[in-house]
Structure 1
Amino acid sequence: MEAANKNVKTIIEKMTEKYHDWPAKLPFALWGYRTSVRTPTGATPYSLVYGMEAISIELEIPSLRIALESQIPEVDWVQARYEELLLIDEKRLAALNQVQLYQRRISRSFNKKVRARNLKDGDLVLKEIRAPVRDPRGKFKPNWAGPYIIKKILKGGAVQLTDIEGVEFSQLTNLDQLKKYHVR
């Protein structure tokens, strides 16, 4: 939901000149958001809900589509609309398939950047300092602490560390906070 709010906010910012104009522009921003195609689904939110694309300007200026719909008998129009609604499930399944393909593509892209950490019990490692520690050295403070020894690698990427003297840490460390320490 926050992503949608951010997008609507961006649309409104582009449409308004003064900050107090936004209430008048909100319906247009929402209309634009609901009728624009989403990359993950390959469809508009409006079409996934109502089974057909939105008609905006056609309400004021009759188009061929509106003219044809107004000339057909009501029974035929209802039948055509019913058939469109039957196809909505197919559209939603196609959108779901598109979302799954999009997620796989994003996952592959992310996994290309993941580095394998070949660490095992007994290795010397450095631990990343993530906590905001007040240090008089400012930006020259160290980013890594250690070296430490891996006592045990647990399931899920948790690691039990000990210091050089063999004193065990009370808390587990995440594997992604460690890098191998190479002695020169």
Structure 2
Amino acid sequence: MITSTHLHPQANGQAKSNNMIIINNLQNTLGAKKRRWAKELAFVLWADRTTTKNETAQTPFPLVFGTEAMILTEMVFPTARTNLQTRETNNEAIAHDLDTVDNLRDLSKVRIAAFQQRIAKSYDKNIRIRRFQVGDLVLRKAFQNTTNPNDGKLAPKWEGPYLIDSEAGKGAYWLATMEGEILRMPSISKPTLCKLEIIF
């Protein structure tokens, strides 16, 4: 089974995010009658699948099935949309929608990319990029595999001090101990991760 973050929603938090939306909608719908969640789940899922999303400017239903969903009241009360359709015109409309669904999906991919760029731009404007020089004393962020598991929550968050020996690439540095021994892996100082902290 492939569990990379692009193909595995459990790994990249996408499933958890979608489930939180459904749980919040269920809580708002049920109020104090929490035991009726099984009866209300179908309506909450239908509402979620037929609500326009900001990222795609579309509802998920036409992206999957190629045609716009009918709301439940249109099935009970006659509307122009249901009364003016014949079986032949409906089949023609469905065939046309299926032919154009790929264009709709491509347009949604472009909108998602633009949305992600806007989110990244708004996030990055608050980031302060930190540059290090050769010879600076720094602390390196301690990871779970480098700390003592018996320390638990009291484990140190940083390890070091280390000297910056040389630059290994964009934002990556070779570190050396105070005795001059160079560490095997270069340490990265990205704006979002900031794995190095300078000592003043």
Shared fold (TM-score, shorter chain, > 0.5): yes
TM-score by length of 1: 0.77
Matches within 5 A, 1:20-169: 20-55=35-70, 56-69=72-85, 72=86, 74-128=87-141, 147-155=161-169, 157-169=171-183
Runs of 4+ in 1 over 6 A off after TM superposition: 130-133
State the AA in 2 paired with 1:13: Q
**1:4 shift after superposition:** 1.6
Structure 2 distance, partners of 1:167, 1:83, is: 68
Structure 2 distance, partners of 1:79, 1:174, is: 57
2:168–2:186 contact (8 Å) kept in structure 1: no
**1:96 shift after superposition:** 1.4
2:137–2:199 contact (8 Å) kept in structure 1: yes
Question: Bigger shift: 16-25 or 143-152?
Answer: 143-152
- The unaligned stretches of length 5 or more in structure 2 are 1-14
Structure 2 distance, partners of 1:39, 1:52, is: 19
**1:93 shift after superposition:** 1.9
Which residue in 1 is equivalent to 2:20?
6
**1:60 shift after superposition:** 0.2
Q: 1:170 to 1:79 in 2, by over 3 A?
A: closer
Q: Does 1:177 align with 2:190?
A: no
**1:160 shift after superposition:** 3.4
Structure 2 distance, partners of 1:114, 1:149, is: 24
Structure 1 distance, partners of 2:141, 2:100, is: 54
**1:100 shift after superposition:** 1.2
The size of the alignment, in residue pairs, is 175
State the AA in 1 paired with 2:83: A
- Bigger Rg, which one: 1
Q: 1:143 to 1:93 in 2, by over 3 A?
A: closer
Q: Aligned-residue CA RMSD in angstroms?
A: 2.9
